[in-house]
Amino acid sequence: MTEQTEKQRAKKKQIIAAAIRCFVEKGFHATSTAEICKAAGMSPGNLFHYYPTKNAIIEAIALQDQADFATLLQLEQVTDSTIETVITIMTRLIQLYNEPTYARLSLEIIAEASRNPAINNTFIKNEKIVRQRLVDILRHGVSNGQIDPELSIENTASWLMTIADGAIGRDLMEPEFHLADRLGSFIYIIKKILMPIK
Amino acid sequence: MTEQTEKQRAKKKQIIAAAIRCFVEKGFHATSTAEICKAAGMSPGNLFHYYPTKNAIIEAIALQDQADFATLLQLEQVTDSTIETVITIMTRLIQLYNEPTYARLSLEIIAEASRNPAINNTFIKNEKIVRQRLVDILRHGVSNGQIDPELSIENTASWLMTIADGAIGRDLMEPEFHLADRLGSFIYIIKKILMPIK
The answer to whether B138 and B156 have CB atoms below 8 angstroms apart is yes
Answer whether B57's CB lies under 8 Å from B108's CB: no
Is B33 in CB contact (< 8 Å) with chain A? no
What mean pLDDT comes out for the span B153-167? 95
B133 CB-near residues (< 8 Å, 6+ apart): B73, B89
Biggest CA–CA distance in chain A, Å, is: 66
C-alpha neighbours within 13 Å on the C-beta side of residue B68: 17
CB contact under 8 A, B172 and A108: no
Give B193's contacts in chain A (Cβ within 8 Å).
189, 192-193
- A167/B contact by beta carbon, under 8 A: yes
B35 touches chain A (CB under 8 A): no
Rounded Cα distance, B41 and A30, in Å: 26
Residue B44 has pLDDT above 50, yes or no: yes
Closest residue, chain A, to B156 (C-alpha):
A185
Cα A35 to Cα A13: distance, rounded to the nearest angstrom: 16
- Interchain contact A182–B (C-beta under 8 A): yes
Beta carbons of A44 and A34 less than 8 angstroms apart = yes
Nearest to A107, CA basis, from B160, B166, B138: B166
Whether B87 contacts chain A with CB within 8 A = no
Residue pLDDT tens, chain A, 198 long: 456 688 888 999 999 999 999 998 888 878 999 999 999 999 999 999 999 998 899 888 988 888 888 888 887 666 789 999 999 999 999 999 999 889 989 888 888 888 788 888 888 888 899 999 999 999 999 999 999 999 999 999 999 999 999 999 888 888 888 899 999 999 999 999 999 997
Classify the phi-psi angles of B31: left when phi > 0, otherwise alpha if psi is within -120 to 50, otherwise beta.
beta
Chain B residues close to A185, C-beta within 8 Å: 151-152, 155-156, 158-159
Distance of residue A1 Cα from the nearest chain B Cα, in angstroms: 40
